[in-house]
Amino acid sequence: MPKWVNHVRVKKEWEEGDVRKVSAKIGSELRRIDLSSLTEEDTFLEDSRLAMIDYFEDISNRTEDTSFTEFNILMEDLYDWADTPLDGEWNGKKLAWIETF
């Protein structure tokens, strides 16, 4: 099992099934992640984190229904970002564990 450097815990909100609540919690969890120790080569990870915060918070603040397709695409981006290896080791450090269940 990889060594997860960060955790994004959204189990409770995920089980409730409200896309807005899940998005608000993910935005909050992403805000608390500190990537200041990354190298300059990895600044794209911080840029991606900030962009995802904006997208998730946008969804959480909407008054109209959000399409599950849009939310699912954003979740795929989150999973890809979180699964980024941070060292060259097999099964080594990865950016974040996304806890949904």
Condensed to tens digits (0 to 9), the pLDDT of residues 30-74 reads 999 998 888 777 889 999 999 999 999 999 998 877 778 889 999
Transcribe 53-88 into DSSP letters. HHHHHHHHT-SSPPPHHHHHHHHHHHHHHHT-BSSS
Closest CA to 81 of 56, 53, 45: 45
Q: What is the pTM of this model?
A: 0.89
Give the C-alpha distances (Å, rounded to integers) separating 88 from 4, 27, 35, 42, 91: 14, 29, 18, 14, 9
How many domains would you assign to the chain? Answer: 1
Is residue 96 scored above 80 in pLDDT?
Answer: yes
By residue range, what is the domain housing residue 12?
A: 3-99
Distance (Å, whole) CA 37 – CA 16: 34
